[in-house]
Structure 1
């Protein structure tokens, strides 16, 4: 994949986020989108080596659309300034669709590569299941948090949007209560592709996802 060309394109899109510019540059978009699909297509078999559950994931469906959903947003920019994908065992990428834990990555207009694993802002019922799983399998969750590869790669779970008080139905002295307060159960890390582009981006992504696998596997047990 021509990563520098993608970053250049996304940067220009960020400065010209309108339909006229997008249509005029559609040939560039089509080429970059095809290369991104090729990257994801090659990435899935690498993930399958440590997580066979994602073998049935359709790479075309793993890619997110570049069009933004503007229905409930004050920002009326029509296009996202990222190329992104989520690889799941269910083949569904959105939490609202019941996609479950995912391996997610995106490249943005600043040349930032974000690599993540887990569940970001799952719907209410799914979030309740995960929180209950934290309490019911406290020992297993502790094992995930202490996993050497996960800690070295991601440090800890992200606590974006964490509640101040325990959620309804959970005692303040419940196991891992500070994690029970989380609204997402996900790890992520960011690196700058402007500083250095990996010789093999697919291999780099697969390594990051392998480090996140203990969390993904544990989340699948939350039912």
Structure 2
């Protein structure tokens, strides 16, 4: 993956986020997307060794489109300024559409790599299952959170968007209530890429995904 070319393209796109510019630079985008697809393909094969459920994941389905959905957005810019992918066993659904726990990463114009794992904004029925799983398997849940590699890499689950009150149907006196208030069960981390050493990207991604594997596996039990 030519990281210097990718970040340069995304930086220029950020300044010229319009259809005419994108059409003029479509050949550059096509080359970069093909390289990104190769990266995701290799990453899936690597991860399938430790997470066999990923073996049938379609790399093309894992990539997010660069076109933005502007139907419900107040920001009327047509293109995303990141390259991103979500690796899920079925390879078909986004995590927010009920695809279950996923591995996610994105690269932006500044060379920032964001890597995440878990479930972001799961639908209501799925979120209810996860919350009950926290209660039913409290010991397993906290064992996962205390996993040495997971804790060192991520620190814990993200607390953003946490409810201030217990969700409907859950007792405020429940010992796990603070975790039940979470709306996302996800861990993420950001690092600055060395664009002069693109060979390190795949290694960084694979190791970070392996570190978040305990969370992914626990969520699959829900």
Q: Shared fold by TM > 0.5?
A: yes
- Secondary structure in 1 matching 2:117: strand
The question of whether the paired residues in 2 share the 8 Å contact of 1:93 and 1:102 is answered with no
Q: Does 1:40 align with 2:34?
A: no
CA distance in 1, matches of 2:122, 2:54: 19
Distance 2:171 2:218 in 1: 22
Can you give the 5+ residue segments of structure 1 that lack an aligned partner in the other structure? none
Report matched runs for 1:1-223 at 5 Å. 1-193=1-193, 197=197, 199-222=199-222
Matched residue SS, 1:161: coil
Structure 2 gaps, min length 5 = none
Please report the TM-score for the alignment, with normalisation by the length of structure 1: 0.96
Across the aligned residues of Structure 1 and Structure 2, the Cα RMSD in angstroms comes to 1.3
Give the conservation status (yes or no) of the 8 Å contact 1:90–1:100.
no
- Paired residues of 1:198 and 1:204 also in contact (CA < 8 A): no
- Per the normalisation by structure 2, the TM-score is 0.96
C-alpha distance in structure 2 between counterparts of 1:103 and 1:35, whole Å: 19
Alpha-carbon distance in structure 2 between the residues aligned to 1:84 and 1:194: 18
Q: Distance in 2 between matches of 1:135 and 1:109?
A: 41
Is the CA contact (8 Å cut-off) linking 2:3 and 2:196 kept in structure 1?
no
Aligned residue-pair number: 222
User: CA offsets, 1:156-200, max 9 Å, x none?
Assistant: 101111100111111112232111111100000001125774533
Runs of 4+ in 1 over 3 A off after TM superposition: 194-199
Farther-moved stretch of structure 1 (115-124 vs 86-95)? 86-95
